[in-house]
Amino acid sequence: MSTPEGQVFDLGYRHYDGPREGRTRARRALFVNGVRTCFGLGRGAWAKVLPVLFLVAVMAPAAILSIMAGLLGEVFADVLDLPGPQDYYAIVSPILLIFAAIIAPELLCSDRKSGVINLYLVRPLSSNDYVASRWLSFFAVSLVFIYAGQVVLLTGLAMGSEEPFAYVRENWAHVPRFLLAGLAIAAVTTTIPLAAASLTTRRAYASLAVIGLFVVTTVVVAALSEIDCVTSPDVEQSTSGRQANSDSTSGASLAVTFGSGGLAGLDNSNTGCEPELGIVGRWARLLDFGGIPLQISDLIFGEYEEELTPETELIPLPPSVAVVWWIVIVSVPAAVLWSRYRRLVT
């Protein structure tokens, strides 16, 4: 008979005797995992390239503007009207939207497709904990990308100024403004992509849906809310008359009023500007999901224009409507996201 070469030892079940940190530790671990996923940490090299490229892309305009302001000097920079902190979000918003559309689905679609979500949702972690941790992780990453360019821009403008400390003293108010405006933008760029990702297990579908939503609505709104400004002889004559009689006509520049039928219109004899589609064009701005956060940013920076002028590209919304609609486009996708994951455990 041959002697057996292996042996089996019955060691019994060994209980876990380490620390039990509960839900707080689980939430924190999920948050950290979400941040690492967004930056591609712990994954291959290609997963890290895309976030780095996006980060460079949102900071590059700030670096270029800072160099131009430093080379030209404050006088020439003012003459050329170089963009400042109040304009920067409008410059990089397409990059931020594309970044959110591509990266956000990574946090949700993979977990459901691989079935890892079922492991996450065992006790003590609940579906609310999962959604909140994932949302906060991408919100934090979005803020990094949103604030990065502003920090570079303000630092560059201050260092390029003849008196950096004087520049900081004169422009310190930009800091709380861009911080608050960044929160408003990040709430939209976080909630809408995650809500779309909650509806499918395919990351490509979620990304295309979000990009399509922003692109299509932007094009449609631009077509519907275009302002027609025409310089006619009547307008020129009216303009000359106003210059000669500025004291009596100083208040007759633009008149956008809401009567019983909606938008009453503009005083075309004074400005030559009118909305091509009237009330329809004005309220079409509600469909501009990518532009609403920028209107909130303009409100915060004090750059919001309620009137129609030849320089106004699109018909603006009343400030109160812009704020309410921003709340709607954040809360409705958030409700969709929450309800989708509530059904996973019911």
Q: Read off the pLDDT band of 240 (50, 70, 90).
A: very low
Per-residue model confidence as pLDDT tens digits over 92-138:
999 999 999 999 999 999 888 888 888 888 767 888 999 999 999 99
Let me know whether 173 and 313 are in one domain: no
Domain count, the chain: 2
- Which range among 86-90, 257-261, 311-315 has the greatest average pLDDT? 86-90
Let me know whether 235 and 199 are in one domain: no
Let me know whether 301 and 340 are in one domain: no
Which range among 128-137, 154-163, 190-199 shows the weakest confidence by mean pLDDT?
A: 154-163
Per-residue model confidence as pLDDT tens digits over 323-346:
999 999 999 999 999 999 888 765
**3-class SS at 273?**
strand
Instruction: Tell me the average pLDDT of the chain.
Output: 79
Q: Which two tokens stand for residue 83?
A: 């963009």
Residue 251's pLDDT is 38
Let me know whether 146 and 289 are in one domain: no
Let me know whether 288 and 184 are in one domain: no
pLDDT, mean of residues 293-313:
73
Residue 80's pLDDT is 58
Residue 47 has pLDDT above 50, yes or no: yes
Residue 253's pLDDT is 34
Let me know whether 88 and 198 are in one domain: yes
Q: Is residue 7 in some structural domain?
A: no
> 257 - beta bridge partners?
265
The pLDDT > 70 percentage for the chain reads: 73
Is 229 in contact with 272 (CB distance < 8 Å)? yes
Residue 262's pLDDT is 35
Q: Is residue 1 in some structural domain?
A: no
Q: Is the pTM of this model over 0.75?
A: yes
Let me know whether 262 and 197 are in one domain: no
Is 100 in contact with 189 (CB distance < 8 Å)? yes
Let me know whether 191 and 135 are in one domain: yes
pLDDT, mean of residues 236-244:
44
Q: Is residue 14 in some structural domain?
A: no
Let me know whether 231 and 218 are in one domain: no
Q: In what helix (H) or strand (E) does residue 264 lie, and over which residues does it extend?
A: strand 262-265
Residue 79 has pLDDT above 60, yes or no: no
Q: Is residue 5 in some structural domain?
A: no
What length is written for the chain? Answer: 346
Q: Is residue 4 in some structural domain?
A: no
pLDDT, mean of residues 217-232:
70
pLDDT, mean of residues 151-168:
85
Residue 320's pLDDT is 87
Per-residue model confidence as pLDDT tens digits over 30-39:
999 999 999 9
Q: Read off the pLDDT band of 77 (50, 70, 90).
A: low
Residue 237 has pLDDT above 60, yes or no: no
Is 337 in contact with 191 (CB distance < 8 Å)? yes
Let me know whether 141 and 281 are in one domain: no
Per-residue model confidence as pLDDT tens digits over 10-21:
666 677 777 777
Let me know whether 45 and 182 are in one domain: yes
Let me know whether 206 and 75 are in one domain: yes
Q: Residue 304's domain spans which residues?
A: 227-241+254-323
Q: Is residue 12 in some structural domain?
A: no
Residue 120's pLDDT is 82
Q: Distance of CA 329 to CAs 10, 102, 189, Å? A: 60, 19, 10
Q: Is residue 8 in some structural domain?
A: no
Q: Is residue 183 in some structural domain?
A: yes
Is 214 in contact with 290 (CB distance < 8 Å)? yes
Per-residue model confidence as pLDDT tens digits over 270-300:
444 555 666 676 777 788 888 889 989 989 9
Q: Which two tokens stand for residue 311?
A: 């320089």
First to last CA, the chain: 60
